[in-house]
Amino acid sequence: MDSNSKRLSSQLKNSGLRPSKSLGQHFLTDPVHLNRIIAAAELGASDTILEVGPGPGNLTRLLCAAVPQGRVIAVELDSRMITYLQQHLAGCANLELLQADILQTNIAELAGPAGEGTPQPSFKVVANLPYYITSAILRYLLEGAPRPERLVVLVQREVAQRICAVPGEMSILAVSVQLFGAPRLVARVPAGAFVPPPKVESAILRIDVYPQPLVATPELPLFFKVVRAGFGEKRKQLRNALAHGLALPPAVGEALLRAAGIDPQRRAETLTLTEWHTLTHHYQEL
């Protein structure tokens, strides 16, 4: 255990705190990787930052220093950590702490109301996400309104790789993220960089969010209905998966795919976002 890990472990112990397994708490202590997260976020001095799950504030402190004229809004579910942050980051005047479940939080109210005739204030998400609800948090932030302009998040390495997948290895998660922004894996982070060390490798993931999703917002429910049907039966040919998932006669499912210019024998993981969009339009016309 390095000196930073020992210091944090000692501080937590002196405060009567232990990382919660049920909340998936693994705190990044390695300064090299903490600074990589800050660099990847490309922060401006007046930016508004949303941090999910700040824990003991290792990243929070750096965020506050990086946006001296901005805001750092840290949403933490664990009330114990809120108390700890209030004590240890009392000097961070631009820090706003909120004890809440991010999945139950009104993002528009957090980011700040838009003035009359002005757009909703922009914000960035920078966070070490709880691994057990990473996918749910990403979808909540990307599918909601307002959307962040950028996310730089620490996630499980395998999840980051799935999100960055190309056709041939796509998943519902990859489609759900790439519909809203361009993801890239910034760096891998070893388990030893955390207290306590997780049982998996981690990665820093950056997502640059598009001004508008690649599918118009009113079409999203139908789009995801088709995508879920396609991925509903793992490794099955699309003609079978769609027929079952959309309750279509097999002949109709095959005709739908041919009308969209897609070989019925292909599998869901091979389709591009454009092909899913085209398939949705043809399904809508049935």
Q: How far apart (Å, rounded) are the C-alpha atoms in residues 107 and 110?
A: 5
Q: How far apart (Å, rounded) are the C-alpha atoms in residues 98 and 23?
A: 17
Could you tell me which of 169, 142, 73 has the C-alpha nearest to residue 112? Answer: 73
195 and 227 in a common domain: no
232 contacts 241 by C-beta, under 8 angstroms: yes
Could you tell me which of 99, 152, 111 has the C-alpha nearest to residue 128? Answer: 152
CATH number assigned to the domain comprising residue 86:
3.40.50.150
pLDDT greater than 80 at residue 6: no
Q: What per-residue confidence (pLDDT) applies to 114?
A: 47
43 and 17 in a common domain: yes
28 and 48 in a common domain: yes
Mean pLDDT lowest for which of 83-87, 112-116, 122-126, 186-190?
112-116
221 and 148 in a common domain: no
99 and 20 in a common domain: yes
Whole-structure pTM value:
0.92
- Mean pLDDT, residues 235-256: 92
128 and 55 in a common domain: yes
Q: What confidence tier does 117 reach under pLDDT thresholds 50, 70, 90?
A: low
CATH number assigned to the domain comprising residue 224:
1.10.8.100
47 and 7 in a common domain: yes
pLDDT greater than 90 at residue 23: no
Could you tell me which of 257, 263, 254 has the C-alpha nearest to residue 282? Answer: 257
222 and 184 in a common domain: no
Q: Tally Cβ neighbours within 10 Å of residue 99.
A: 14
Whole-number Cα distances in Å, 122 to 13, 60, 177, 181, 246: 38, 19, 19, 15, 38
Q: Which two tokens stand for residue 222?
A: 């139908």
- Mean pLDDT, residues 209-231: 95
Range 224-227 contact pairs with CB under 8 angstroms and sequence separation of 24 or more: 224/176, 226/276, 226/279, 226/280, 226/283, 227/172, 227/175, 227/268, 227/276
Query: Three-state secondary structure along the chain?
Result: CCHHHHHHHHHHHHCCCCCCCCCCCCEECCHHHHHHHHHHHCCCCCCEEEEECCCCCHHHHHHHHHCCCCEEEEEECCHHHHHHHHHHCCCCCCEEEEECCHHHCCHHHHHCCCCCCCCCCCCEEEEECCHHHHHHHHHHHHHCCCCCCEEEEEEEHHHHHHHCCCCCCCCHHHHHHHCCEEEEEEEEECHHHEECCCCCCEEEEEEEECCCCCCCHHHHHHHHHHHHHHHCCCCCEHHHHHHHHCCCCHHHHHHHHHHCCCCCCCEHHHCCHHHHHHHHHHHHCC
Of 150, 181, 209, the one marking the end of a domain is 209
Domain count, the chain: 2
Mean pLDDT lowest for which of 116-120, 189-193, 194-198?
116-120
Q: How far apart (Å, rounded) are the C-alpha atoms in residues 271 and 192?
A: 37
Domain span at residue 259?
A: 217-284
